[in-house]
Amino acid sequence: MTKGFDKMKGRKMLAMNVKAARALRDWSQEMLAEKAGISRGSVAGLESCQNSALADSVGAIGHAVGVPQHVLLMPPKDALPLLLAAAGLENG
């Protein structure tokens, strides 16, 4: 493992951003999974930090919620304005 890399921190950021993107749209895990073309278990695993993410899954979720996949990997404070904009909501 690369020195200084905290895989749980990355998983937590992804989990927070996926949950936020889903909540902003009032989607269930099942709805997001259907729109992203992945299983509900994959969404649940990402949101609970139990599963590591495949690039394909992150890309599919990003596409489903209207943001580039890298937004889902950003610190939540940086991702939130982009998630809000993609959901058609304003921050504030």
Q: At what angle do helices 29-36 and 55-65 cross, to 10 degrees?
A: 100
**What pTM was estimated for this model as a whole?**
0.87
Identify whether the C-beta of residue 7 lies closer than 8 Å to the C-beta of residue 35.
Answer: no
Express each pLDDT in 10-40 by its tens digit: 899 999 999 999 999 999 999 999 999 999 9
How many domains, in total, are found in the chain? Answer: 1
Structure tokens at 91: 């921050």
Is 59 contained in some domain?
Answer: yes
Structural domain boundaries, residue 23? 7-82
User: Which CATH number does the domain housing residue 41 bear?
Assistant: 1.10.260.40
Is 24 contained in some domain?
Answer: yes
Average confidence (pLDDT) over 47-66: 93
What residue type is 54 in one-letter code? L
- What span, in angstroms and rounded, lies between the C-alpha atoms of 68 and 6? 23
- What span, in angstroms and rounded, lies between the C-alpha atoms of 3 and 14? 21
In the predicted structure, residue 1 carries a pLDDT above the cut 60: no
